[in-house]
Amino acid sequence: MFDTAPTAALLALILALYLLPTFLAYARDHPRRQVLAVVNILFGWTLVVWIAVFLWATLAPPAPDEAA
């Protein structure tokens, strides 16, 4: 019924979109990235929480650079 490759690609895309706030938080070196990841994984399935976590990951300033 389902072809394996298109189904796997679609599931990978859905998972990547679901975890996008977590990926952004780790890429930006967010100071609370572990908490953000847990909230995203546990409650991100609700659209309101996913949007809140996405905004939290993108709008918060990144952690200060240790070398500076």
Comparing 4-8, 19-23, 44-48, the range with the smallest average pLDDT is 4-8
Tell me: pLDDT of 12 over 70. Answer: yes
Find the Cα–Cα–Cα–Cα dihedral 28, 29, 34, 38, rounded to 10°: 0
Position 3, amino acid: D
63, pLDDT greater than 80: no
Identify the pLDDT of residue 60. Answer: 80
Structure tokens, 62: 């990144």
Structure tokens at 28: 């930006």
Domain boundaries in the chain? 4-59
Q: Has residue 64 got a pLDDT over 80?
A: no
Tokens for 6, please give them. Answer: 């298109």
The tokens for 16 are: 């990547």
| Residue entry with tokens 């679609």 | 10
Instruction: Give the range among 5-9, 19-23, 34-38, 55-59 with minimum mean pLDDT.
Output: 5-9
